[in-house]
Amino acid sequence: MIPRPSPRLPQAAVRWTLGLVIVALCATGCRSSYYAVMESFGKHKRDLLRSALTEASQENQQAATQFQDALAQLQALTGFQGGELETKYNAFKADYDDCAAQAGDVHSRIGKVERVARDLFAEWEKELQQIQRSSLRASSAEKLKATRARYDELHAALTRSAAGMDPVLAQMKDYVLYLKHNLNAQAIGSLKTEMGNIETGIGQLIQSMNHSIRETEKFLSLLEQ
């Protein structure tokens, strides 16, 4: 009797299984095992850094949109001319909560970028010593130096934009709590004098986020070379 070939797992099942393995390894904190599993699927540290940076850029884009939405809600609230004040306040508070959650996601993504980049550069330095031909070793060392310098610039942009979220969130939280305690036309009027500050803060924050997104795109291009 001719043995029947074992059925191939659907691609979705493979991704699901891989996801479970990754979650388990992340839970144990064993990065070396995690990298070994990923390499068995053809994903090396350079690929993982590329994915982590892409995710960090997407989180930044989502955060920029979320802060813009919160500003729009606050502007609608301070421009209140009648209607349901409680509804407008709730909309602004909901956007503030989303901004705070999104900020946490951005910080988390940056942490992942930092870990993978640190491990990638450590591996690169270690493997340099295994290259016997001096000209090739020197060329690879020069590429490592340039890549690390470019990464340091990118990392500075990422951390600067992430840090810029904290004072804006603190100001928004002040508004949320103040309005919670004083939800009336007089309180709304007193916030109008504060609008210039928050508009400037969010504008500068979005510029910083856009800069980090552009730096990420440049570094991703470098990794492709």
| Res. 6 pLDDT band, cuts 50 70 90 | very low
pLDDT of residue 147: 95
Report the candidate in 24, 39, 55, 54 with the shortest Cα–Cα distance to residue 123.
39
pLDDT of residue 142: 96
Do residues 30 and 58 both lie within one domain?
Answer: no
Structure tokens at 164: 């810029």
Please indicate, yes or no, if residue 86 is contained in any of the structural domains: yes
Do residues 87 and 24 both lie within one domain?
Answer: no
pLDDT of residue 29: 55
Mean pLDDT computed over 167-190 = 90
Please indicate, yes or no, if residue 2 is contained in any of the structural domains: no
Q: Are 149 and 190 in contact (CB under 8 A)?
A: no
Q: How many domains does the chain have?
A: 2
* Largest interatomic CA distance in the chain: 88
Q: Bigger pLDDT: 104 or 223?
A: 104
Query: 221 exposed, middle or buried (CB, 10 Å; 0-12, 13-18, 19+)?
Result: exposed
Please indicate, yes or no, if residue 155 is contained in any of the structural domains: yes
Can you give 20-66 as a three-state secondary structure string? Answer: HHHHHHHHHCCHHHHHHHHHHCCCCHHHHHHHHHHHHHHHHHHHHHH
Contacts (Cβ under 8 Å, ≥6 apart) of 10: none
Name the average pLDDT for the chain.
86
pLDDT of residue 32: 82
For residue 32, the enclosing domain spans 11-38
Q: What is the pLDDT of residues 80-90, one digit of tens each?
A: 766 678 888 99
Please indicate, yes or no, if residue 5 is contained in any of the structural domains: no
Flag the least confident range among 15-19, 122-126, 159-163, 197-201. Answer: 15-19
Please indicate, yes or no, if residue 108 is contained in any of the structural domains: yes
Q: Are 113 and 53 in contact (CB under 8 A)?
A: yes
Report the candidate in 106, 96, 58 with the shortest Cα–Cα distance to residue 198.
96
| Res. 5 pLDDT band, cuts 50 70 90 | very low
Task: Decide if pLDDT at 2 tops 50.
Answer: no
Distance CA 98, CA 176 (A): 13
pLDDT of residue 83: 63
